[in-house]
Amino acid sequence: MKNLAILGSTGSIGCSALEVVRTLAPHFRVVALAAGRNVQLFCRQVEEFKPELVALEREDDAREFRRLCSIPDLKVAFGQEGAEEVARYSSVDTVISAITGIKGLRPTLAAVEAGKKVALANKESMVVAGELIQQAVREHHAKIIPIDSEHSAVFQCMSKEAPEDIKKVILTASGGPFFRLSSEEMETKTPEEALNHPRWQMGKKVTIDSATMMNKGLELIEAKWLFGLQPEQLGVLVHPQSIVHSLVEMRDGSVLAQLSQTDMKIPIQYALTHPERRDSSLPPLDLSRVQSLEFYEVEEHKFPLLELAVQALDEKQAFSVALNAANELAVEAFLGKKIKFSDIHVVVAEALETQDGRMIHSMEDIFEVDLAARERARNLLTQRT
Amino acid sequence: MKNLAILGSTGSIGCSALEVVRTLAPHFRVVALAAGRNVQLFCRQVEEFKPELVALEREDDAREFRRLCSIPDLKVAFGQEGAEEVARYSSVDTVISAITGIKGLRPTLAAVEAGKKVALANKESMVVAGELIQQAVREHHAKIIPIDSEHSAVFQCMSKEAPEDIKKVILTASGGPFFRLSSEEMETKTPEEALNHPRWQMGKKVTIDSATMMNKGLELIEAKWLFGLQPEQLGVLVHPQSIVHSLVEMRDGSVLAQLSQTDMKIPIQYALTHPERRDSSLPPLDLSRVQSLEFYEVEEHKFPLLELAVQALDEKQAFSVALNAANELAVEAFLGKKIKFSDIHVVVAEALETQDGRMIHSMEDIFEVDLAARERARNLLTQRT
């Protein structure tokens, strides 16, 4: 039996992970959970899965949780330290890192430094700190198995191949809800329209990132660090059906691909059971019902945030940190109806212009660059609203 | 450097294999070649690749060859024994087994018994003698790497997965030239029409088998033995673009696939370089140019030979032997314009009706069953012509 911790258990990935754990019982047991601000749902999760340690983002939520959910011997922590405590909890074998945004970085690193197997859904960790995290993985003999469907596909296709045989990794992108629109048509799209993703049910931030294709950009940067690839080894293909989750081109002309139903439970389960596999609770993929799998080149000029992310592959790590930070704020402003859809990339691009290109040597450097970029983005947003 | 022998060097696969060897030089050297009756081409191949031993099918062709091609110290053999001598030639590391039909069986077994690595294109060996060959592989520590594009795809997708994790292997089929026709429309198709395959340039026998979908049937039987699968683990999907060469469904809902340009040089090169890969001389696969990959269920009633092959998966090995033998004769009669396209399956089905279901314990048993089936098919053909 394996002991699990879940960081971000009330989010979209966290909830799917708990569904997977239900079907994998009794092979997996949840021993620690950390969540944000959804105290009610968290309470139900804790009552069902009976962890030994839980953590909430805020102290007052932790207090509220204790009131709602009085389980004897349950340890309740809070704040950044609470999440980190969950991540390095001693009896835990595998940590599912599924807190969205840069908030997920410190707990992810804590899990790595505790030598855990980390099932990674928080892409920002790799985007802003890929080098530091991989260094910590080597030092602490940790292991990272990606949960993102694209990276899980790449992992499954390439992990058993020799690195020198990998020519190119091609991430597929559904193209999001606006793939067939012109730049002009996209300009005035509302948050409701952007949240109406054709294929995937996901959290709000990642769904907006999918509409701008920034999500694919962040995934490219994540893939660079996860798999140790050069910028020219990375590409994107639009594949509206989201059945082929990514492709790996080998030097001999063979292309390996992983396909499945569009359901995050599949990569989550793979990350948990790896290197084994277990039966799925989903019906098998029937390609004769899908009938046609389509592939298109991305019209990059329509997705300037993707262009910035591609540029980031060649830039210093600080560029990715600032890109991610400015994008988080701009998306938040868009979701709050403070800026237009087409303003997201304008704000991000402007925030990057004054980026000073410093070197990243530590977590502190990352947070400094992150804060400075947020500051710039916040100023730009204030000017616009 | 690896030393190669090629059985069937003047055939379609043999010629492609020599093309691959040219691009892989100096890593591979051809030391032995066996061919059928194309003495002129064989002579040019021998002059270019300078093997130490060659074999031709017939003694008079061997004599003609010596006259055309006088190379000092070249050993020239002939007949079944000649081909077997090539297969077990001592300095050979890898034998490409690419003689078409049951004629390829003994040389293939000779290579296996000599403990060679066998790059297998002759599907009949596995169809008629899968169990015996796999037994010999274990006994003599030989290794078989498939060359058929479908089996190469399956091999690449599943070889590093645990056998218990494999749920299903799905071979893709182009559907051949008549996939969209009705049974009535197929009935009177000429050899010229049947030889006009939409995707693959192949030998005549396999192209006709592709039109009847018997080729896919033989491949199912081959896959059963190559990969140790149960009949219910095998399936077929029509995929007219022939880009996805086959798919492997895992127990957890993931489906792994191998894709490439439609060019036999890719699986041939993989079989030669395995477990390594080497650069391809072909342009990379560009899915955005292919744009759409389609998949359809097979309308099995339109392809009665495929139905017979699926039945063979559950029957004793002798059924497959007789099926293959009767089909070889019926296809030959069709190519010679002695019977109609729709007669191929009628003759084969009738020849199988009187099949006595004996057990196969040895090569001799196989050849007895094979001869008896040919005799029955010959009689049936005589009655029709």
Per the domain annotation, does B283 fall within a domain?
Answer: no
Those of residues 261-290 in B touching chain A at CB distance below 8 A are: 261, 263, 266, 269-270, 273, 276-280, 282, 284-285, 287-288, 290
Predicted ipTM of the assembly: 0.95
pLDDT at A384: 83
Q: Are residues A13 and A141 in the same domain?
A: yes
Q: Are residues A367 and A302 in the same domain?
A: no
Of B353, B342, B341, nearest to B379 by C-alpha is B353
Q: Are residues A163 and A140 in the same domain?
A: no
Q: How far apart are CA B247 and CA B255, in angstroms?
A: 6
Q: Residue A124 contacts by C-beta under 8 Å, 6 or more apart in sequence?
A: A100, A101, A102, A104, A105, A218, A324
Test B276 with A167 for CB contact under 8 angstroms: no
Which letter does DSSP use for residue A360 in this model? P
Domain count, chain B: 3
Profile chain A (385 residues) by mean pLDDT over runs of 10 residues.
97 96 94 97 97 98 94 95 98 96 94 98 95 97 97 93 96 92 92 82 85 96 97 97 97 98 96 96 94 95 96 95 96 96 96 82 94 96 87
Chain A nearest-CA distance from B307, in A, is 19
Q: Provide the whole-model pTM.
A: 0.95
Q: How far apart are CA A374 and CA A354, in angstroms?
A: 12
pLDDT at A385: 72
Of B175, B379, B152, B123, nearest to B270 by C-alpha is B152
Strand partners, A172: A237
Q: How far apart are CA A265 and CA B336, in angstroms?
A: 56
Q: Are residues A359 and A381 in the same domain?
A: yes
Q: How far apart are CA B241 and CA B262, in angstroms?
A: 9
| Domain boundary, last residue among B114, B147, B180 | B147
Per the domain annotation, does A40 fall within a domain?
Answer: yes
Per the domain annotation, does A275 fall within a domain?
Answer: no
Per the domain annotation, does A117 fall within a domain?
Answer: yes
Q: Residue B358 contacts by C-beta under 8 Å, 6 or more apart in sequence?
A: B316, B318, B365, B369
Q: How far is CA A219 from the centre of its chain?
A: 8
Q: Are residues A226 and A157 in the same domain?
A: yes
Q: Are residues A175 and A235 in the same domain?
A: yes
Test B251 with A277 for CB contact under 8 angstroms: yes
Q: Are residues A46 and A114 in the same domain?
A: yes
Chain B nearest-CA distance from A282, in A, is 7
Q: How far apart are CA A93 and CA A118, in angstroms?
A: 9
- Give me the CATH number covering residue B43: 3.40.50.720
Q: How far apart are CA A262 and CA A246, in angstroms?
A: 13
Per the domain annotation, does B273 fall within a domain?
Answer: no
| Domain boundary, last residue among A119, A147, A175 | A147
Cβ-based contacts of A257 with chain B (< 8 Å): 244, 256-259
How would you write the pLDDT of chain B (385 residues) with one tens digit per residue? 999 999 999 999 999 999 999 999 899 999 999 999 999 999 999 999 999 999 999 999 999 999 999 898 999 999 999 999 999 999 999 999 999 888 999 999 999 999 999 999 999 999 999 999 999 999 999 999 999 999 999 999 997 899 999 999 999 999 988 989 999 999 989 999 999 877 766 778 889 999 999 999 999 999 999 999 999 999 999 999 999 999 999 999 999 999 999 999 999 999 999 999 999 989 999 999 998 999 999 999 999 999 999 999 999 999 999 999 999 999 999 999 999 999 999 999 999 987 777 789 999 999 999 999 999 999 999 998 7
Token pair of A75 as six digits: 């340890």
Per the domain annotation, does B86 fall within a domain?
Answer: yes
**DSSP string computed for A178-216:** TTTS-HHHHHT--HHHHT--SS----HHHHHHHHHTHHH
Per the domain annotation, does A210 fall within a domain?
Answer: yes
Q: Are residues B221 and B101 in the same domain?
A: no
Q: Are residues B111 and B234 in the same domain?
A: no
pLDDT at B351: 94
Q: Are residues A111 and A180 in the same domain?
A: no
Of B163, B115, B125, nearest to B147 by C-alpha is B125
Chain A nearest-CA distance from B52, in A, is 29
Q: Which domain holds residue A355?
A: 315-385
Q: Are residues B45 and B154 in the same domain?
A: no
Q: Are residues B108 and B66 in the same domain?
A: yes
Chain A nearest-CA distance from B295, in A, is 5
Those of residues 218-247 in B touching chain A at CB distance below 8 A are: 237, 244, 247
Of B238, B258, B156, nearest to B198 by C-alpha is B238
pLDDT at A204: 87
Those of residues 122-161 in B touching chain A at CB distance below 8 A are: 156-157, 160-161
| Domain boundary, last residue among B147, B162, B191 | B147
**DSSP string computed for A309-327:** HHHHHHS-HHHHHHHHHHH
pLDDT at A206: 87
Test A293 with B288 for CB contact under 8 angstroms: no
Per the domain annotation, does A98 fall within a domain?
Answer: yes
pLDDT at A221: 98
Of A194, A52, A34, nearest to A122 by C-alpha is A34
